[in-house]
Structure 1
């Protein structure tokens, strides 16, 4: 009798318990969105790059099934994440935001270098923290000031721990998920012999914060790199020796239909 009673209590607890597990892991819930994508939904941002600042907007311009197109104003925008979201199409399915578009590599001296994202998961509201969502790699070659630069890269997105609340521009948002987009790159060239110009390192790290039923509320992009010291060769490189630049993109207003 005691065994039967214990089994019944256990069964009831399984059926009636909260859908999250004891470790607080996310569970499947697709009844809401962290980037609502109805036609004409819009978001306005302040973008700061060092001492420079600008204002830009994102608008859902078209919807076809579960595929969406966003437009940026101005175009091209200053915010890297605004550029990614408006550079192609988005798809929302099973709690995931999936993007097809491009990323501006963003190192001074590398002209018109864009990296492709194909079916890249930008966030997964049901993923556990520290889950890798997407990875892709490729190569590109550019000739800059007579230097033949061979660039290899890897783009990765990761779901990080959620944030209970976050204040952005004086507005408090609750139920915020945090995802990250990382670009790791290496650059080689030939100066008499093949040499590494940039050893493999995380050049761009984008931290994105998405609020439930609101959208992207904050995106911080950190650009950091240091080239190899080739001064002993007497070469004048076409890319600055190092850089550390923070781009802050903060939501100021939004309209959700």
Structure 2
């Protein structure tokens, strides 16, 4: 089954991203050598996965302002396929101290048919001096949306964690990088709905998906380059409600492994 992780595009349920495309003339004061934030910097990635062999071109387009703070706006030349390029596309990134913060919209599309989106505000995607195993950021919330007649309640938690620092790292495509830091990002999700079951005189609240880590992604950042390799697994399993006469409009299970390999880059 083909599964895409899609970020920062139009979704069925609209949440507000508090970003602006206009700069106030100021630029972010700080920078980090593990994700150099200069306008014009770009990275291209080969994206491999089930039924996917694509290429993403990610670049920093300009300065932008979100909640009166200065960010760098990331964009891609075309609709991206990879987790990392998707997560930055059309969003703002800034540095505060040794942390890289992301603000904007993020979304997950289960089975190419069921969209979920959420808003991130200064979510820490990377911290240069983090210790191994240190949690960098955590955000939880509830999204309520209607999908094909089902009123859904989505309870989510997204976390980022510093995994380890590597003096040397060899990517699965045999590219070698020095001074690399590994970060883990997890999205945990629970879905419930109110449904009418034959023979029951009142609506019932049922769990469609028990809490589970639907996205687990590892990103590798190399000093003076940026993100050089990402390994992302997307898995979900819904409850089989057929015995209640409820047929869900999406596949009960889905799984995908995706890899992103840095190909070319230009850093100022």
TM-score class normalised by the smaller sequence: 0.7 to 0.9
Over the residues paired in the alignment, what is the CA RMSD in angstroms? 1.9
Number of equivalent positions: 226
Structure 2 residues without counterparts, runs of 5 or longer: 1-29, 197-203
Structure 1's 135 and 196: CA in aligned 2 closer, same or farther, altered over 3 A? Answer: same
* Distance in 1 separating the partners of 2:258 and 2:169: 18
* Distance in 2 separating the partners of 1:220 and 1:119: 23
Aligned 1:85-100 pairs, distance under 5 A: 85-100=88-103
Match status 1:71 vs 2:90: no
* Distance in 2 separating the partners of 1:230 and 1:162: 45
- Give the alignment partner of residue 248 of structure 1, picking from 259, 263, 267: 259
Q: In proportion to residue count, which structure has more helix?
A: 1
Between stretches 172-181 and 78-87, larger displacement belongs to 78-87
Aligned to 2:187: 183
Give 1:161 deviation, angstroms. Answer: 1.0
Structure 1's 167 and 34: CA in aligned 2 closer, same or farther, altered over 3 A? Answer: same
Match status 1:47 vs 2:50: no
Aligned to 1:149: 152
Aligned 1:7-18 pairs, distance under 5 A: none
Larger Rg: 1
Deviations 1:102-153 (A, max 9, x none): 2221212323x21111111101110111111111111112222222221111
Provide the secondary structure at the position in 2 that maps to 1:105. Answer: strand
Provide the secondary structure at the position in 1 that maps to 2:109. Answer: coil
* Distance in 2 separating the partners of 1:184 and 1:41: 32
Give 1:213 deviation, angstroms. Answer: 0.4
Structure 1's 140 and 31: CA in aligned 2 closer, same or farther, altered over 3 A? Answer: closer
Match status 1:130 vs 2:141: no
